[in-house]
Chains A and B, each alone.
Chain A
């Protein structure tokens, strides 16, 4: 029953989550043309990965600011000269710092940033495991004498019912008077 209700909730949740997948608008202002479509594709990718230093949160591909235009022009020029993506990113970081990259590199300064989510998952898993193990060990599932007696009674009654099969084929109703005693 509860499972069914959960499944009913799942569908609207999926739609809500899908909304999160909408992409930010990309609008390069100047047009960089490349003879090679592969270069154009790398240009698009780099424009999205590099962050405009003048802006709070815009890629150089989305920003109108003059410095973003300069950076796009430099990226395009370097691509035409045959530079690799890494070389282009290095050239930008050398001038504008780590801020120029949306995904910071993994280095001494950033290991905490990258590692924290995984660390938290491990810690959280550890805590859950600890709780499970502890609960098992303390034996919360052993019954007190009174509970045991109650359970035995229930089982006994159940066995009795099953021993007198299908009276008149009528489905049995719980809590019918006279049956309990």
Chain B
């Protein structure tokens, strides 16, 4: 009898393997763990897109000395990025729902960036101009669009790689924003 049961061992191993591989099938191969969750937003010193003389640093996201900042959605975009154009209506919806948005114009030229906002609308409270992609690099951005939810203390709480779909607005972004408010 014991011997008989032993014969089931390969079947058992096979079953475990099937479960393991089946899970892999539904796994998005381009998804990555974000390394920046629970980290402070990286330091930066960048001009704004509309005004080259106005420079901002990360105190923008951390509020004043004694006041708590707002929960912010930081969206990394670029005029060269076709998906970013498709994402703009969703960002506009978020802005209309009272979400505080900061844009990062990533690896772009100032003219093209400004033109983009004129064409597709400007949902951002302010857009940072990051022509060399230095802030993007420190954020671990490897393609646009990417979005980060930053809490009132300037800590990264959520990282969305890729396109925010219309469904994501209600199902992912707004609940995440509410979580950190």
Contact = CB atoms under 8 A, between A and B. Distances in A.
B32 A96 contact: yes
Q: DSSP class of A's interface residues: helix, strand, loop or mixed? A: helix
B30 A56 contact: yes
Contact of B140 (A52, A74, A95): A95
Contact of B35 (A52, A54, A95): A95
Label chain B's interface by main secondary structure.
loop
A74 B142 CA distance: 14
A99 B36 contact: no
Interface string A60-71: 000001110010
A123 B29 CA distance: 32
B121 interface: no
B93 interface: no
Interface residues of B, number: 16
B82 interface: no
Given A56-B30, A67-B143, A97 B35 contact: yes
A54 B133 contact: no
A98 interface: yes
A96 B29 contact: no
Contacts of B36: 95
A54 B140 contact: no
A94 interface: yes
B35 A96 contact: yes
How many A residues are at the interface, by size bracket?
10 to 19
Interface string B129-154: 00001000111111100000000000
Given A66-B107, A70-B137, A74-B137, A99 B32 contact: yes
Contacts of B32: 53, 96-97, 99
Interface of B: 29-30, 32-36, 107, 133, 137-143
7 contacts: A54-B142, A56-B29, A65-B142, A67-B142, A95-B138, A97-B32, A99-B33
Given A65-B142, A96-B35, 11 more contacts: A53-B32, A53-B140, A53-B142, A54-B142, A67-B141, A67-B142, A70-B133, A70-B137, A95-B139, A95-B140, A96-B142
